[in-house]
Amino acid sequence: MSKLTLASYPHMLGFEQLERLLERSAKAGSDGYPPYNIEQTSENSYRITLAVAGFSRDDLSITIEDRQLVIRGRQEDDSEGRVFLHRGIASRQFQRMFVLADGVDVGEAVMENGLLHVDLSRAAPEPVVQTISIRKG
């Protein structure tokens, strides 16, 4: 069985980059850590919430790289000189990536109660109609 791609549809022109973005985003952050929610807060705005308990603001970074929102977390290992009888809370680094569509802007990021909220907004698209003249050949 052959793999269906956007190139399999002759009326879908110029979507090769979209296909690469979909493949890249499917591979990124597939381990499920940290858990997150994506909610639509209005018709043109969204909020991504990551559960980052144990991370401080200084342990986190948020960047936009090639139309991808990248959220990274890295904690310093503070276990030196400590004796754990049980260690169920591991300090572990993570990287979570979200592909942003054209026109989606990242707003503010807020940290509260172990949750990192990142607000996104999308400008309302304006309908575009273009008339192409037909020249005589």
The pLDDT score that the predictor gives to residue 87 is 81
pLDDT band for position 14 (cuts 50, 70, 90): confident
- CATH code: domain 32-122 is 2.60.40.790
Question: What is the enclosing helix (H) or strand (E) of 8?
Answer: none
The total of other beta-carbon atoms located within 10 Å of residue 75's CB is 17
In the chain, where the domains are located: 32-122
Model confidence, pTM: 0.72
Contact 105, 121 (CB under 8 A): yes
The string of pLDDT tens digits covering residues 22-69 is: 676 666 555 788 999 999 999 999 999 999 988 999 999 999 998 899
pLDDT confidence bin for 77, thresholds 50/70/90: confident
